[in-house]
A = this chain, B = another copy of it.
Amino acid sequence: MTSGNLLVAQGGGPTAVFNFSLLGVVEEARRLKIKGIGKIIGALRSIDGLLDEDLIDLGKENRSNLRQVALKPGAALGSCRRKMAEEDYGRIVEVFKRYDVRYFFYIGGNGSMFTVHKVDQLARSVGYELNAIGIPKTIDNDLAYTDHCPGFGSAARYFASVTREIGLDVASLPPPVSVIETLGRNTGWLAASAALAKEDEGDAPNLIYVPERVFSLSAFLSDVSDVYDKWGRAVIVVSEGLKDKSGQYLGGVNAKASRDGFGRNLPGGASSFLAAKIAEQLKLRARSEKPGLAARTGVEYVSSVDRREAYLVGQSAVRAAVKGKSGLMMTLDRAAGNRYYCKVGEAPLEKVAKAEKLLPPGFINKRGNFVTEAFLRYCRPIIGDSIRSFPDLSKHRIA
């Protein structure tokens, strides 16, 4: 196996278990140190810090502190939103040469996987021996070639829990409508996950809308009206990524920011837009809730399965790399059968980087206003233990 140093970085938006993958890499590398891995280097601020050579020695971190840091929301090393320029890849390889980095692990989503792919290719083309592995991470669950992505299960658990809790509040104080907005710009995985809150008919959520379907306001209002007429209330979960026929985010904000070179149409108003429409058109009291970043930082809602799997993909990436593998992303492959079990697999970065996994049609109902039983079976084990359930009063009536 190759002797040299290891470098790990975290890319893109944090998840609640982002740092567990980092822990998996560091702990496994420490175990394998005798086999040829030298320094365990962490790049602060992701590729930004890597290019600035803003590097730390993770091998010198106190072991128990590192375990505490793993529980922390955000990216412990820091992350970035860099738009990669073509020359950046070459500069990365230059830094690797300078620090004798032979193992590169990048924990991230689609964009990060593309970066690892390019770096891997470039290193190969210039004859620099490098083992570059992508470690999947995204609350959006939109990476292909893996059953699901570390980070998704905890955010899904968050939305399922919060939807159940809000549902109990709404049920105890009618007549109200609540529109809960989930994260998820292009995919409806997180909005769909709120369905795990439902135990009985009438329970929250009553309706779920995902960006995989073009949003129709008239169909939506008709659905809400039906639910309200039946139950006297409605809890509706919508993805922040809902778009109208023209492809615009519902209630989207056009953020023309130049100070940080950023400028694009941003989602983030679907729930308040729809609550206003419900009030206006259906004459119902409606409000909106948008937990936003709280859904990916909530340490109280971390899925035990997600935490374990986030660690596992980090750990397995190191094992794969020391076997000489490169240009791969670690995947979670679900075994067939009734009992949930995922083993770690691999997928070529070239394929992963190009793909985006949307909710398959079989996970959305015909009307496009809820998920199917197949989705529930898929999602339930990923969120860990059952979410908290609350008993009702027995309610012995007085005659």
Contacts and interface: CB of A to CB of B under 8 A. Distances in A.
Given A286-B255, A396-B56, A166 B69 contact: no
B288 A169 contact: no
Contacts of A58: 393
Interface stretch (A29-37, A142-150, A209-217, A272-280): A272-280
Nearest to A71: B390
Interface in A50-104: 55-58, 60-62, 65-66, 68-69, 71-81, 99
B99 A398 contact: yes
A294 B165 contact: yes
A230 interface: no
B275 A253 contact: yes
A178 B291 CA distance: 12
A337 interface: no
B14 A55 contact: no
Contacts of A186: none
A260 B289 contact: no
Given A269-B272, A285-B260, A299 B165 contact: yes
11 contacts: A42-B393, A44-B395, A56-B398, A73-B166, A74-B170, A169-B297, A253-B272, A260-B284, A266-B287, A287-B293, A289-B294
A377 interface: no
A394 interface: yes
Interface in A277-319: 279-280, 282-294, 296-301
B57 A168 contact: no
A102 to B, nearest CB: 15
Contacts of A275: 253, 268
Given A80-B173, A285-B255, A394-B61, A297 B56 contact: no
A41 interface: yes
B69 A392 contact: yes
Contact of A14 (B62, B169, B390): B169
Nearest to A251: B272
Contact of A165 (B13, B66, B73): B73
Contact of A293 (B170, B294, B299): B170
Contacts of A272: 253, 268-269, 272, 290
Contacts of A262: 285
Interface string A139-176: 00000000000000000000000100110111111010
A391 B72 contact: yes
